[in-house]
Amino acid sequence: MNKVKFIYNPYSGENTILYDLDNVIRIHQKYNYIVSPFRISKEYELSQAFQDIDDTYKYVLIAGGDGTVDNVVNIMKKLKIDLPISILPVGTANDFARFIGMPQDVDKACEQILNSKIKALDLGKINDKYFINVASTGLFTDISQKTDVNLKNMMGKLAYYVKAVEQIPNLRKIGVKVHSLDKEFDGDMYLMLVFNGQTAGNFKLAYKSDVTDGLFDVIIFKAGMIKDIITLFVKMLRGEHLEGFNGLIYFKTNKLKIECDENIVTDIDGERGPDFPITIECIPGGLKVLGVKNINSLKK
């Protein structure tokens, strides 16, 4: 029988994966797979999940949010494990899994994965770390890092919005320099997002993003009048396209360098990213994924 390495985060979301463990095993056994589980915890290094990996393993099943997937992918790259991954979106933030069409129902997700073919999707790299969905810097980008795990579990995405409101009084201009072959920016901004996926916090901002084109969608919220920012966020809440708005820069590129001398952090899918200066590059086809519902639908 073939094997699947099942790595799950018991703290993701509302701990729902704990109630679905038997379903994961049952469905995989139906398809003649042996499930080898690894529970993420502070007591064990994540790399230990791969100690028994050999050619009998066909893919890695990850249950968690975007940050959990990032952590697993980074370990796999470090250990040079070239297996496809699949995602059960049970975290608070499941932007990338939603982008590729993964259902939240665990039974349906497992069936979709087991009846799919491998797709090669783009992967982001920021200095020496990898990310699947979005790298960001500026105001509000460390909300996930600062939000208590218990609050996330209790309130879900609402916890992020509560934390964001707390940061509004700290709104200030941030000086950055952005270098790429496609765009140069040297000025003040509030926020910058570099998308491999399309959404952040369930907001579909990078509506042009194509995870197979070898390019990032970069969005810079320029510093300006507060009323302009309010208007911009209203457009975001309504799901309207942001391109063409006076306070926003939107472009595509496969590589960019960002310099900043101010005391701000970077974020990669809800986890702390590297310090400045940073280089972000797209690795075309760098991530093998099972369960992608319809690659053509991602381009719409």
Same-domain check for residues 240 and 140 = yes
Longest dimension (CA), the chain: 62
Q: Identify the three-state secondary structure at position 142.
A: coil
Mark whether 161 and 274 lie in a shared domain: yes
User: Does residue 292 lie within any of the structural domains?
Assistant: no
The pLDDT value given to residue 157: 45
If asked whether residues 160 and 226 sit together in one domain, one would say: yes
Whether residue 51 is found in the same domain as residue 146: no
Asked whether residue 122 is assigned to any structural domain, the reply reads no
Residues 101 and 134 in one domain: no
Domain final residue pick, 72, 93, 116: 116
pLDDT attached to residue 1: 80
Q: Is 298 contained in some domain?
A: no
Contact 92, 143 (CB under 8 A): no
* 240 and 146 assigned to the same domain: yes
Q: Domain residues for 182?
A: 129-284
Considering the domain architecture, whether residues 280 and 135 belong to the same structural domain is answered as yes
Same domain for 58 and 165, yes or no, is: no
Q: Is 173 in the same domain as 275?
A: yes
Query: Which are the contacts of 93, defined by CB distance < 8 A and separation ≥ 6?
Result: 65, 66, 67, 144, 157, 160, 201, 269, 270
**CATH code of the domain in which 276 resides:** 2.60.200.40
39 occurs within a structural domain:
yes
Whether the CB-CB separation of 248 and 221 falls below 8 Å is answered with: yes
Per-residue confidence in pLDDT tens, the chain, 300 aa:
899 999 999 988 778 899 999 999 999 999 999 999 999 999 999 999 999 999 999 999 999 999 999 999 999 999 999 999 999 999 877 999 999 999 999 999 999 999 999 999 999 999 999 999 999 998 766 544 444 444 444 434 444 444 444 555 566 789 999 999 999 999 999 889 999 999 887 778 888 899 999 999 999 988 875 666 666 666 665 666 666 667 789 999 999 999 999 888 899 998 899 999 999 999 999 999 999 996 655 554
Name the domain count of the chain.
2
**Residue 163 within a domain:** yes
Answer yes or no: is 291 within a domain.
no
CA neighbor of 6 nearest in space, from 42, 66, 52 = 52
Q: Would you state the pLDDT for residue 189? A: 92
User: How high is the pLDDT of residue 52?
Assistant: 97
Give me the CATH number covering residue 101: 3.40.50.10330
Is residue 68 domain-shared with residue 140, that is, in the same domain?
Answer: no
**135 inside domain:** yes
Query: How many beta carbons lie within 10 A of that of residue 37, not counting itself?
Result: 15
Judge if 199 and 277 occupy the same domain. yes
pLDDT in the model for residue 200: 85
Cβ distance 201 to 140 under 8 Å?
A: no
Specify whether 14 is located in the same domain as 140.
no
The reply to whether 165 falls in a domain is yes
| pLDDT at position 238 | 63
> Where among 63, 92, 116 does a domain terminate?
116
